[in-house]
Chains A and B, each alone.
Chain A
């Protein structure tokens, strides 16, 4: 900043109040055009002829501009002025824009008198186009909302959505879902910045694993949920029994201490996600480590290889296409970029892509096994900032 200039000519009276400039903006182009017409007539005088010229310096579509122009000319007549060529008053109207609003800026001239007249209207919030379709891995949008989604469970007649503040049960109604009940989620400690959580439903019982918190409740006869501080290990995959892993409170990863489905305990490197995969009867584990490495491990968690090009999220599926099972993985990249997921299998312990990538309009913020051949993916749309839940299903064909 520069130093103050002394003895400045006092062009401004004392500060009275400041309001955002959008405070007096109209709601639409028509409202702004009427306002500009009123101001024009106030400057020109009733009965005067006005010649208006237009130019567009904004991103406003031509149709909206034509609408504003028609409304302006109509309002000009209604206010007692005449629109005419070679009028006594000339006004050059520029359609301009700022981040928050569109402006109609009129530079009016009547003889030697000049005046700048401005009318504005608020910009509408942008709507994002949906992600392109055309996928080999079957994708089904289940739910979309502005609040973050941590995990979801799709049941035959209902959908359970876990958000940082609540657990919501939606009933299946025709081709959509409608809310049936919700219960507050009260974590024992604040959510980490990259919040993660895991839902597990068993009959009418529900458990929500949160960082440093375990919530337990019921789906029937009423949706309930009670949360307590706890470091219970999370089910890291959808196996039966699952791989259990200790999640680090206040962070976004597992510390590496796991209980294998056999009951044996192992100490591994810290990881974001884990999943099982098989090839010709041999079982393997895949771990997305916090170091950025994706590791292939054998059934005893001994290193069997490394994988390049995968992101931090992967989820095993129960699909068995060909001679082994399939696993889904995000792509390597940045958590602020549009992501994609594709299905992989093993060929001589080398992962091979079995499907084309399923592209999303934002980063995948959660990817969990959903049982069977499916997984649940949560995506944050980069344009709308809304969260969407997808059911991804590996379909064997041919």
Chain B
């Protein structure tokens, strides 16, 4: 600003001067892209409140329109279009070209975002974990792999320090005791346990995680395990999976994870100690090996206002978003 005679002069006046309104504006369509591509006949609940689904093309597109009678008032947006099955790289290109307003960002894409990009980040709500097939019956082999993984290198190099290293299923922010689960690499002990192990196959469920799977296979070889990376999760001995923290209530979140892993649901989770005990039981035997807790990360176009449009648990909350654009 220029100061003249003690008075600050504002910017030049023009009849068409536009500065973003601070009050929410009604109207417009929010264009969202995601990797998810559910093929279900009925649409999943991408948006829980404020919008009604009006179009569903399984695996391709979901369109929502504002619910005039929504609790808390009609959302500011007129509609939300969700393009499904979009690769992370394609999403980034669409954001750059102005074809998308909200996209998912992986570690690689996050590094490439221009300065000033609005980023929404949740708490760590996804658990990257190794899950063994029932075919791998030898607990010593499973433990050998657990002790061979260099989580720090994966976190620093492949994930660009995104998320938190953890040996727990539930993240530290949710339970406060995740630090109790060990994460350190112990190759000498792993080599002892791996003696005589048969060759194993490892498959990432998300092709974007292949580099991490290959790093794990490399670590395993250092421990004397012969692990080969494949692209067939259904038939692999080990799957590199993503588990989601489904609730901000740790007891419910652990129960949901147990269900996702096919384990019986835990009982009496009425204290932190009981919860810890149940989670430790779930991890005993190394049938699942948590590696790293990751947040949901989104990049948004400058025209998107009122964010963040996600809850700390990563749920989409678009009712209070609006977009700068044509007049309502």
**Which residues of A lie under 8 Å from residue B180 when comparing CB positions?**
105, 107, 116
User: Would you list which residues of chain A between 61 and 96 have a CB under 8 Å from chain B?
Assistant: 94, 96
Of B242, B272, B306, B327, which is within 8 A of A270 by CB?
A: B327
Chain B: how many interface residues by the 8 Å CB criterion? 89
Q: A306's contact among B7, B15, B243, B280, by CB below 8 Å, is which? A: B15
Q: Would you call A250 and B264 a contact (CB within 8 A)?
A: no
Cβ-defined contact, A11 with B282, below 8 A: yes
Which residue from B15, B264, B285 sits with its C-beta under 8 Å from A303? B15
A91 CB, nearest partner CB in chain B, Å: 14
By the criterion CB–CB under 8 Å, are A332 and B174 in contact? no
| Most chain B beta-carbon contacts within 10 A, residue among A13, A14, A118, A333 | A118
Known: A21-B251, A25-B272. Is A13-B24 also a contact (CB below 8 A)?
no
Taking CB atoms, residues of chain A closer than 8 Å to B285 are: 9, 11
Contact across chains for A194 and B21 when beta carbons are under 8 A apart: no
A-B contact count (CB 8 A): 271
- A118 CA to B269 CA in the complex, in Å? 13
> Which residues of chain B are near A116, meaning CB under 8 Å?
177, 180, 273, 276-277, 280
Residues of A within 8 A of B316 (CB): none
A10: which B residues are within 8 A, CB to CB? 264
What's the minimum C-beta distance from B8 to chain A, rounded to whole angstroms?
4
Q: Which of B172, B270, B287 contacts A98 (CB 8 A)?
A: B172
Inter-subunit contact B269/A18 (CB<8 Å) = yes
Provide the B81-115 mask, 1 if CB < 8 A to any CB of A, else 0.
00000000000000000000000000000000000
Cβ contacts under 8 Å, A105 to chain B = 176-177, 180
CB–CB B239/A193 < 8 A:
no
Binary interface encoding of chain A residues 323-357 relative to chain B, with 1 for a CB under 8 A from any of its CBs, else 0: 00000001111111001000000010111111000
**B214 at the A interface (CB under 8 A):** no
Nearest B residue to A354 by beta-carbon distance? Answer: B7
Instruction: Verify A4–B264 contact, CB threshold 8 A.
Output: no
Beta-carbon contact of B251 and A18 below 8 Å? yes
> A residues 273-301 with Cβ under 8 Å of B?
288-296
Among residues 1 to 18 in chain A, which have CB atoms less than 8 Å away from a CB atom of chain B? 1-2, 4-18
Q: Which of B72-80, B143-151, B219-227 contacts A (4 or more CB under 8 A)?
A: B72-80
**Does B284 reach chain A (CB closer than 8 Å)?**
yes
Contact B17–A290 (Cβ < 8 Å)? no
CB-CB under 8 A from A168, the residues of chain B are: none
Task: Tell me which of A220-228, A307-315, A376-384 binds B.
Answer: A307-315
Q: Report whether B177 and A118 are in contact in the complex, using a CB–CB cutoff of 8 Å.
A: yes
**Do A352 and B9 touch across chains, with their CB atoms under 8 A apart?**
yes
Task: For chain B, residues 262 to 296, give those with C-beta under 8 angstroms from any C-beta of chain A.
Answer: 262-278, 280-282, 284-285, 287-288
Residues B20 and A292 in contact, CB atoms below 8 Å apart: yes
Rounded to whole angstroms, the CA-CA distance of A163 and B60 in the bound complex is 44
A146 touches B (CB below 8 Å): no
Chain B residue with the shortest CB-CB distance to A295: B15
Interface membership of B179, Cβ < 8 A: yes
- The one of A98, A269, A295, A351 that contacts B250, using a Cβ cutoff of 8 Å: A98
Query: How far apart sit A395 and B39, CA to CA, in the bound complex (Å)?
Result: 65
CB contact between A101 and one of B134, B267, B272 (< 8 Å): that residue: B272
Interface centre among A119, A252, A303 (most CB of B within 10 A): A252
Known contacts A4-B260, A9-B285, A105-B180, A192 near B74 by CB under 8 Å:
yes
Decide: A15 and B265 in contact? CB cutoff 8 A.
yes
In the complex, how many angstroms separate the beta carbon of B188 from the nearest chain A beta carbon? Answer: 22
Chain B min CB distance to A165 (Å): 14
> A118, B272: Cβ atoms under 8 Å?
yes
B45 at the interface (CB under 8 A from A): no
A306 to B282, CA, bound (A): 64
Q: Is A251 an interface residue (CB 8 A)?
A: yes
CA distance A1 to B9 in the complex (A): 57
* Complex partner residue of B22 from A103, A303, A335, CB under 8 angstroms: A335
In chain B, positions 301-321 with a C-beta closer than 8 Å to chain A are 305-307, 312, 319-320
Taking a contact as CB atoms closer than 8 A, the residue among A4, A193, A331 that contacts B74 in the complex is: A193
Q: Which of B70, B72, B266 interacts with A12 by CB under 8 Å?
A: B266
Q: Does A203 contact B (CB under 8 A)?
A: no
Q: Within 8 Å CB of A193, what residues of B?
A: 24, 70, 72-76, 319-320
Residue A173, interface by CB 8 Å: no
Q: Which residue of A is nearest B1, CB measured?
A: A353
Alpha-carbon gap, A57 to B262, bound state (A):
33
A387-B211 Cα distance, complex, nearest whole Å? 50
B175 at interface, CB cutoff 8 A: yes
Quick one: given A5-B261, A363-B22, are A296 and B13 in contact (CB under 8 Å)? yes
Q: Across the interface, which residues of A come within 8 angstroms of B239, CB to CB?
A: 2
Q: Is B54 interfacial (CB-CB < 8 Å)? A: no
Residue of A2, A6, A11 contacting most chain B CB atoms (<10 Å): A2
Q: With the chains together, A250 CA to B72 CA distance in Å?
A: 11
Supposing A12-B263, A18-B252 touch, asked if A307 and B13 sit within 8 A by C-beta, the answer is yes
Report A-chain residues with C-beta under 8 Å of the C-beta of B272.
21, 24-25, 101, 103, 118-120
Interchain CA distance A270-B21 in the complex, whole Å: 13
Could you give 26 example pairs across A and B, Cβ below 8 Å? A1-B243, A1-B260, A2-B239, A5-B262, A8-B287, A9-B285, A12-B278, A14-B265, A16-B268, A20-B250, A118-B273, A191-B73, A192-B73, A194-B23, A272-B21, A292-B19, A293-B16, A307-B10, A308-B17, A308-B18, A310-B19, A312-B21, A313-B22, A333-B22, A334-B20, A350-B9
Contacts A331-B22, A332-B20 known; 14 new A-B pairs at CB < 8 A: A1-B242, A11-B282, A21-B249, A25-B272, A98-B173, A119-B272, A192-B74, A253-B26, A253-B328, A290-B328, A292-B18, A305-B15, A308-B11, A352-B8
Cβ-closest 6 pairs across A and B? A193-B73, A312-B23, A4-B262, A311-B22, A98-B176, A306-B17
